[in-house]
Amino acid sequence: MQEVIHARGHENVSAEHTSTFEVTTDDYLTPAGDCILAIDADRSPADFDPEFVEACQTQGSRITFTIEADGYSDSVTGLGHPSLEFTNDRSMVGRTSDYVDDRTIMLAAPFAAEGFDRDLVAALAEGAEVTVTLEVDA
């Protein structure tokens, strides 16, 4: 089961954060947003199909976040959890920790923004069109 989000990069994408990565519906990005990979997303967690959300809330589920831009692609797989809410209408955040809030889309990711392919990050910083695919294996 999957959800597809379309967004775009921005000149301030640096992908340097060590514990989170984020995609936001906001249409701007300041240099302080070092976890943000893409902006102007056409969907947020609050828009996701209830069946997808339920699958992500299954203990032991695995969630894969794949981001593609300008011919580059990278993926990270983390864990779902019954506490995941998927209610935020603005942004989605993957975490290396077990912290949960309404933006959290996965826990225990093996890397955060700083771990994404640097050629992909360069394309994001050039403002490339982005496709994000979230896939859950419950």
Q: pLDDT tier at 138 (50, 70, 90 boundaries)?
A: confident
What 8-state DSSP symbol labels residue 90? S
Q: In 3-state terms, what secondary structure has residue 73?
A: strand
CA dihedral 122, 123, 125, 131 (to 10 degrees): -130
pLDDT digits (tens, 9 = 90+) for 43-74: 999 999 999 999 999 999 999 999 999 999 99
Domain at 2-137, CATH homologous superfamily: mth639 domain like (2.60.120.630)
pLDDT at 122 over 80: yes
pLDDT at 28 over 90: yes
Q: Model-level pTM?
A: 0.97
What mean pLDDT is predicted for residues 2-24? 98
In sign, the C-alpha dihedral spanning 116, 111, 109, 26 is negative
What mean pLDDT is predicted for residues 98-113? 98
CA distances from 8 to 24, 27, 29, 36, 90 (A): 10, 9, 11, 11, 15
What mean pLDDT is predicted for residues 85-98? 97
Domain regions of the chain by residue span: 2-137
What mean pLDDT is predicted for residues 120-136? 98
Sheet of 20-24, strand order: 36-38, 20-24, 91-95, 104-106
7 strand-pairing partners? 130
Residue percentage of the chain with pLDDT more than 70: 100
pLDDT at 106 over 90: yes
